[in-house]
Amino acid sequence: MARKSSFMVQMAREAARQARINEAERKRQERERIRLLKEQQRQQIQFEKEEKMLYIESRIKETEDLNYDLKEQIHHLNIILDQSLQVNNIISFASLKSKKKFKSFSVPNEITVPTIEPAFESYSSQVKSRKFLQKIIPILEKRYQKAMLEAKEQFENDFASYEKLERERISKLNTLKAKYEKEKSEFEMEIKNNNLEIDEFERNYRNGESEAVIAYNNIVLERSKYLAEFPQQFRLAYLPNSKELVIDYEIPNKDIVPPVAEYKYIKTRDEISEKLRKDQEIKNIYSDVVASIALRTLYEIFDADQANNIDVIVFSGYVHSIDPATGKDIAPYLISTRVVKEVFKELDLNRVEKSVCLRNLGAQVSPRPAELQAVKPILEFNMVDKRFVDHESMLDSLQSLPNLMDLNPYEFEKLVTDLFARMGLDAKLTRSSKDGGVDCVAFDTRPIVGGKVVIQAKRYKNTVGVSSVRDLYGTMMNEGANKGILVTTKSYGPDAYEFAKDKPIELIDGGGLLYLLEQNGIKARIIFEQ
């Protein structure tokens, strides 16, 4: 049933995507139709020399239309965030159910309308009535009886044809009725099954099952309406232990900002000139677009979270572009932030200054997004572990892979130390119980960006709280370290992320640890005993 649910959810998502694409295409076609119509009108006016004034007026109107389109596009870029604040983002599961009714029973008239049954009276009435003398004159009586016999034979032949046609009609009608009832029954059964799948989808979502949570939020983001030029491509991952949703979101590049600031009609040259927008204005608008998309996405997901499945969102926005230095395709990240719901709900998004708001949320924001200056994502999407298996999911084929929970604390600390050493740090394991809270001290030998790093390893089966992060920060201060790293086999609570957001602290959960190990040639599993 889970596979059916996934299929139904994919259908729901695709329906939402297709509805948005169809609406955008309809608007584009309408604009194109209007544009072609206006162009035809302008050409007609242009060819009519005697109506030169009308032609000039049409050119002025064309310029006004161009300027109106410019203002509309800039307006839509300016209200990216405001537009979403006016929408109820909660997905009604009832709205995902099919409301379709099966077509009514319809057949041709020649089948529904019965054939007219012949009546003997209409045949016998065609024979002239006998008069008294005709009854007693044999020859006349004989003629009359012959005519009546012929009328009766004609009636019987026509009645037999009627009965045949009526049998055929009724047979066709019954066949069509049977076919209709069969198709209707199949249709209603399909609708019933699909709606049952939606019910299952809702149960799974409210129970916090990862697949359902991801599918639900896919629909939320698919229903978000942007300009048609926006890519609106994204991928989601969900960490149920920490109730954390990870979003990788494609942002439009700076071409979304119109390079023209104003159009002006020059009558003497019959020319529409362009006044280009200042480069700094383009950069400012684009920076606002990047910030608006991030805040809007965070708002939509938190606002739609009707089952309280999400405590933390990691949002990372990237663009598809071309590296001017190499000519190769690149996808740099321009913004990345980890936000706790309780903190985000305290914001008044109608009044915030977007860039300041994001800085306060601890976001990594490109200082020059229009120039594709990248930032490091707070969490690599591929580090969101999809291989976490619980005890019931373990198969014999996986038993040869090491379970990190089988290591003792010291062995786990050594594993973490070796991992960071393999990643290029000069990492040294500290002595157990005499390290003042430090499991590993490492040195990043790169100039300027390098320095001393303290690392703590927590082989935990429970969520790591904020106290451990505070302890790490205190250790950093005591050690004079540039950075602190906390590694756990489990996950972190929202308060832990909130405390670490504006500090040089990196939190690596179980999924991230498995990913880093695999990237460095070590395949492992984390299995918690029941």
Q: What angle do CA 45, 260, 354 make, to 5 degrees?
A: 135
The model's confidence at residue 275, banded by pLDDT at 50, 70 and 90, is: very high
pLDDT of 400 > 80? The answer is no
At residue 396 the predicted structure's pLDDT band, cuts being 50, 70 and 90, is very low
H helix or E strand, kind and range, residue 488: strand 483-488
Rounded Cα distance, 525 and 489, in Å: 10
DSSP classification of residue 401: S
Distance CA 520, CA 497 (A): 26
Six-digit token string for 62: 């064309």
Which of 232 and 53 is assigned the larger pLDDT? 232
Burial class of 278 by CB neighbour count within 10 A (0 to 12, 13 to 18, 19+):
exposed
Provide the token pair at 197: 């799948």
- 289: nearest Cα among 256, 260, 259: 256
Cα→Cα distances 220→125, 153, 167, 341, Å: 78, 77, 57, 17
Q: Poorest-confidence range of 284-298, 310-324, 502-516?
A: 502-516
pLDDT of residue 482: 84
What mean pLDDT is predicted for residues 239-245? Answer: 88
What the block records as the tokens of 424 is 């290029």
pLDDT at 368: 92
pLDDT average, residue stretch 171-182: 89
Q: 391 pLDDT band (50/70/90 cuts)?
A: very low
CA–CA separation, 530 and 520 (whole Å):
30
45 pLDDT band, cuts 50/70/90, is: low
What is the pLDDT, as a whole number, of residue 398? Answer: 32
> What pLDDT sits at residue 387?
35
Which of left, alpha, beta for 480 (phi over 0: left; psi -120 to 50: alpha)? left
**Greater pLDDT, 440 or 232:** 232
CA 199 to chain CA mean position, Å: 20
What pLDDT is recorded for position 500? 87
pLDDT score at 390: 33
Pairing mode, strands 333-340 and 364-365: antiparallel
The confidence score (pLDDT) of residue 49 equals: 62
Contact between residue 422 and residue 522 where contact means Cβ atoms under 8 Å apart: no
Rounded CA separation 234/358 (Å) = 20
Give the CB-side neighbour count of residue 267, counting CA atoms within 13 A.
9
Which one has a higher pLDDT value, 158 or 127? 158
Segments in 341-408 forming alpha helices (H): 341-344, 354-360
**β partners of residue 322:** 329
Identify the band that residue 437 occupies on the pLDDT scale cut at 50, 70 and 90. low
pLDDT-above-90 percentage for the chain = 36
Q: What is the pLDDT of residue 394?
A: 26
Question: Do 352 and 269 meet the contact criterion of CB atoms below 8 Å apart?
Answer: no
Residue 212: pLDDT band by 50, 70, 90 thresholds? very high
What's phi and psi for 348, nearest 5 deg? Answer: -105, 90
End-to-end, the C-alpha distance of the chain in Å comes to 26
- For 67-81, b where at least 16 C-beta lie within 10 A, e where not — what string? eeebeeebeebeebb
Query: In the predicted model, what is the mean pLDDT of the chain?
Result: 85
**CA 156 to CA 166: how far, in whole Å?**
15
Q: Which has more confidence, 308 or 106?
A: 308
Render pLDDT for 126-151 as a digit per residue (tens, 0 to 9).
777 666 555 666 777 777 778 888 88
The pLDDT of residue 385: 44
pLDDT-derived band at 76 (thresholds 50, 70, 90) equals very high
Query: Which residues, at least 6 apart from 520, have a Cβ–Cβ distance to it below 8 Å?
Result: 419, 422, 423
* pLDDT value of position 402: 77
The continuous run of DSSP H or E covering 237 comes out as strand 234-239
pLDDT digits (tens, 9 = 90+) for 339-349: 999 999 999 99
Nearest partner of 214 among 247, 236, 246, judged by Cα? 236
Pick the CATH number of 391-519 from 3.30.450.20, 1.10.357.20, 3.40.50.970, 3.40.1350.10: 3.40.1350.10
Beta-strand pair 271-276/260-266: antiparallel
Task: Look at residues 425, 482, 494, 488 and name the one whose alpha carbon lies nearest to residue 452.
Answer: 482
- For residues 440 and 431, what is the distance between their CA atoms, to the nearest angstrom? 9
Sheet strand arrangement including 505-508: 426-429, 440-444, 451-458, 483-488, 505-508
3-state secondary structure of 274: strand
Q: Is 413's pLDDT higher than 90?
A: no
Q: Mean pLDDT, to the nearest integer, of 150-161?
A: 85
**Residues 359 and 502 sit within 8 Å (Cβ to Cβ):** no
Domain ranges of the chain: 48-91+223-381, 109-204, 391-519
Give the residue with greater pLDDT, 265 vs 389. 265
Angle between helix axes 52-78 and 2-47 (nearest 10 degrees) is 150
* Helix axes 510-519 and 409-422, enclosed angle (nearest 10): 50
Mean pLDDT of 152-173: 86
Cβ proximity of 193 and 47 under 8 Å: no
- Alpha-carbon separation of residue 96 from 4, 7, 204, 209, 236 (angstroms): 15, 13, 15, 19, 20
pLDDT at 1: 52
Question: Measuring CA to CA, which residue among 333, 335, 337 is closest to residue 360?
Answer: 337
Q: Give dist(CA 519, CA 506) in Å, integer.
A: 18
Which segment, 305-319, 322-336, 382-396, is predicted with the most confidence on average? 305-319
199-209 pLDDT, tens digit each: 999 999 999 99
In this predicted structure, what is the pLDDT of residue 111?
Answer: 79
- Residue among 503, 374, 297 at smallest CA distance from 365: 374
